[in-house]
Structure 1
Amino acid sequence: MQFLKGRKAIVSGGGSGIGRAVVEKLAAADMETALADLHIPSGLPAGTHPFTCNVSAAEDIDRLFTGVQEKLGTPDILVCSAGRGIHEKLTEGDPEKWRQVIDTNLLGALRMIRAFVPGMLAKGQGDVVLLSSVSAGQAYAYGGVYAATKSALEVVAETLRQEVMPNVRVTVVAPGVTDTPFFKNTISGFHTVEDIGYGAISAEAVADAVLYALDKPPGLSINQIVLRPTNQPF
C-alpha cells in the first residue's frame, strides 16, 4: 500500500457492509478515515472519525463537510458506498419509496461529490470511488428502480472523470451478489443470498478491489472493476 501512506479518506455508508470493510482496510493501511453513516457501529479501528449522516439530506452533508474539515482537513479519497435496495414491480410500486432510493443511491453520491471534490481539485490530486452494481445497465424484473440508480451513477462517474482529469481519478467498483446486510435492509421486497442462488462474494473482497484501484501511482487510473460470484450469470 505504498501509494496510500499519509492519505486521508471519507467513506459514506461506512457503518456496515462494503463501506465498513473499506474503512477496515484503510485503517489497516494506516490511513485516517472519516466514516459517515446513519448508524455508527461500535469497535471502530484506530484513526476512524465517525459522523452520523444521511446522504439524502443536504443539511447533513453540510454538517459532515464542516466536521471533516475540522478533523481531517480536505480528504484525499472519497468512497461513496451508501446505498439502499428496492425490489418491487413498476406497475405496483410506491413512488415515495422510489424517491428514497434515488435520493440515497444517486443524489447522495452527487451531494458527496459536490461537497468534497472541489477541495481535491484545489489540492491538485484526489480519488473518487463510486460503488455501483452489476445491475447497472442490466434490466431485470422487480429491479428497475435500483438498476436505474446504478446506471445513472455510472454515467455520473464517467462525466466526473472527464471533468476532473488529470488531477482527480474516478473509479467505479461494481460488485455482484455480496454477502452483507444490504438485502436485510432493502426498502421494499425481500431477498437473501441463499434464495438468489448464485453464491456470494464477501464485503472484504469488494474492499480489496477498492484498495487495488486506490493504491496505484499517479498517472495511472483504474476506472472500472466488476467482480461477482463465478456462478452469477449477469
Structure 2
Amino acid sequence: MQSLQGKKALITGGSRGIGRATALELAKEGVELGLIARSEESFGTIQTELTELGATFITAAADVADEAEVQQAVDKIEQQLGSIDILINNAGIGARGSFLELSIETWKNVLDTNVMGMVYVTKAVLPGMIKRNRGDIINISSMSGLKGTEGSSAYSASKFAVIGLSESLMQEVRRNNIRVSVFTPSLVETDFTRGKNSNQPDPEKFTQPEDLAEYMTSLLKLEQRSFIKTSAIWATNPF
C-alpha cells in the first residue's frame, strides 16, 4: 500500500460528521488538509482536534452552492497548502416531504448544494490534477442514490445525480491516473440522521462516521494502479 504522508486533501463539509472524521483519520496518516464548511465558527472543534494531532491544515468558509465562494475558498487553500492530491466531496443537505409538499426553493437548494456544489469544487480542483497526471476524488452519495423512497424525491434525485456524475467523470479521467470513487452509505450516525423520529433504530448500531473514514483512508492507500469504483456501505444489524 502507498503512503499518504505529505499529500494534500480538500474535504467539503469538513467541520463535522463524515468530513470531520475523515479529516482526523487522514491527519493521522500525515495528510495536509484543506477544509471547507459554511462558516468559520463551525470549525472550532475540528481545529482544536487537528491542532492536538499536530496536523497541517487550512480552513475556508464557503457555501458550496455558490460558485464564486467555492473558487475563492479553493484558491485560498491551494495558495497556502499547495496543489490538491485528494478531493473528498462530502458536503450535502437533505429534505423530507412528499413531492407536492417540497417547494421549488427546497428543490433548488438541495440540487444546488448536493450536485452543483460538487461540480463547482471538482471544476476548481480537477485541472491541477490533470496537469500533474494524478489524483483521487471521492464523492459521497447515498443508498438514496440507488433506490428512491417515499418522502425523499429531492434528496434521492440529487444523490442519483452524484452517482451519474461520478461514473462519467471516472471514465473521462482514469487515463490521467485520476481515480474517481463514489460511496453509497446507508444510515450513518450524524447530525443529519440523528433524532429523525422516535421509532428509529438505536443510532449506536448505525454505521459511524469513523467507519467510513477508516475505509476511505484504506482505499486511498491502495497502489495507484487500482481503485474501488463504487462502495455500498451498510450497517450490519441496525434493527
**TM-score between the two structures when normalised by the length of structure 1:** 0.92
Q: Structure 2: any 5+ residue segments left out of the alignment? A: none
Q: In the alignment, which residue of structure 2 is the partner of 1:211?
A: 217
Q: Distance in 2 between matches of 1:90 and 1:64?
A: 34
Q: In the alignment, which residue of structure 2 is the partner of 1:34?
A: 34
Q: In the alignment, which residue of structure 2 is the partner of 1:225?
A: 231
The letter for the 2-side match of 1:175 is P
Q: In the alignment, which residue of structure 2 is the partner of 1:187?
A: none
Q: Distance in 2 between matches of 1:207 and 1:134?
A: 17
Q: How does 1:32-111 map to 2 (within 5 A)?
A: 32-39=32-39, 40-42=42-44, 43-45=48-50, 46-111=55-120
Is the partner of 1:209 in helix, strand or coil?
helix
Give aligned pairs, total: 227
Q: How does 1:149-188 map to 2 (within 5 A)?
A: 149-166=158-175, 167-183=177-193
Counterpart contact for 1:127–1:169, Cα < 8 Å? yes
Q: Distance in 2 between matches of 1:140 and 1:202?
A: 22
Deviation digits for residues 8-49 of structure 1, max 9, x if unmatched? 100000011001111001111111000000133221402121
The letter for the 1-side match of 2:105 is E
Q: Distance in 2 between matches of 1:152 and 1:37?
A: 22
Give the drift of 1:137: 2.4
1:191 paired with 2:200, answer no
Is the partner of 1:146 in helix, strand or coil?
helix
Give the drift of 1:174: 1.4
Instruction: Kindly report the root-mean-square deviation, in angstroms, between the aligned alpha carbons of the 2 structures.
Output: 1.7
Is the partner of 2:110 in helix, strand or coil?
helix
Bigger share in helix? 2
Q: Distance in 2 between matches of 1:82 and 1:41?
A: 14
Counterpart contact for 1:176–1:232, Cα < 8 Å? no
Deviation digits for residues 126-170 of structure 1, max 9, x if unmatched? 000001111112011001110111111000001000110131000
1:147 paired with 2:156, answer yes
The letter for the 2-side match of 1:176 is S
Q: Distance in 2 between matches of 1:59 and 1:97?
A: 21
Q: Structure 1: any 5+ residue segments left out of the alignment? A: 185-189
Is the partner of 2:161 in helix, strand or coil?
helix
Is the partner of 2:107 in helix, strand or coil?
helix
Q: Distance in 1 between matches of 2:200 and 2:218?
A: 28
1:120 paired with 2:129, answer yes
Q: Distance in 1 between matches of 2:43 and 2:199?
A: 28
Counterpart contact for 1:11–1:81, Cα < 8 Å? yes
Q: Distance in 1 between matches of 2:84 and 2:113?
A: 21
The letter for the 2-side match of 1:224 is T
